[in-house]
Copies of this chain bind each other. A is one copy, B any other.
């Protein structure tokens, strides 16, 4: 008898948000497309401008659209990228939901797998890129560039694993470890001296899946020794 469902008083702005989101997800608007202007949306949804604007603001905050001002402006559907995952990981770390140690351990488990897959799928073009990156590693440039050079190999391998989910996760972890550790110890050479990647690259280029996995694991263990104790100090100096 008690089958009455509660009346859900959904807010108008949320309703508009939902409908627009669905339209994007269903492909009715795809990346680069412009959503109808505020004025048109007001008419179609028969709501006030306030409501439309808040809905679009939410879409923007969720990373589904970018808003451009001006004559040819409007809300344009964004090419969805895996950056969202990275940014969320950042949030989680800074809100104390993940310890630095957990991130490092996760990377220790995942990146060897990625390296193995990279070895499995390595093409001559990939090999060329890897060797190039490896040669450039010892260059010393300005601060942020050095970090980029030093982790380039890791990003390349992530791109080679042929699985966009693993690529995204791996890149998030690499980026997170990098940004956290360099915040604490800006001297790149101390936390990651150049030339630590030779054996990994050799194995990957040889297509040696197990070898690449093993080499990456060994490298990360070495690296983590250098980073040991960083988290406490970081948390202290906050």
Contacts and interface: CB of A to CB of B under 8 A. Distances in A.
Report whether over half of chain A's contact residues are helix, strand or loop; otherwise say mixed.
helix
Contact of A102 (B81, B109, B113, B163): B163
B91 A84 contact: yes
Tell me the number of copies of this protein. Answer: 2
Interface string A15-59: 001000000110000000000000000000000001001100111
Nearest to A105: B163
A24 B94 CA distance: 10
A128 interface: no
Question: Contact residue range for chain A?
Answer: 35 or more
A85 B85 contact: yes
Given A85-B85, A92-B165, A109-B166, 11 more contacts: A17-B61, A24-B95, A25-B94, A53-B54, A57-B61, A58-B60, A59-B61, A61-B61, A80-B92, A106-B169, A109-B113
Interface of A: 13, 17, 24-25, 50, 53-54, 57-62, 64, 80-82, 84-85, 88-89, 91-92, 94-95, 97-98, 102-103, 105-106, 109-110, 113, 163-166, 169, 173
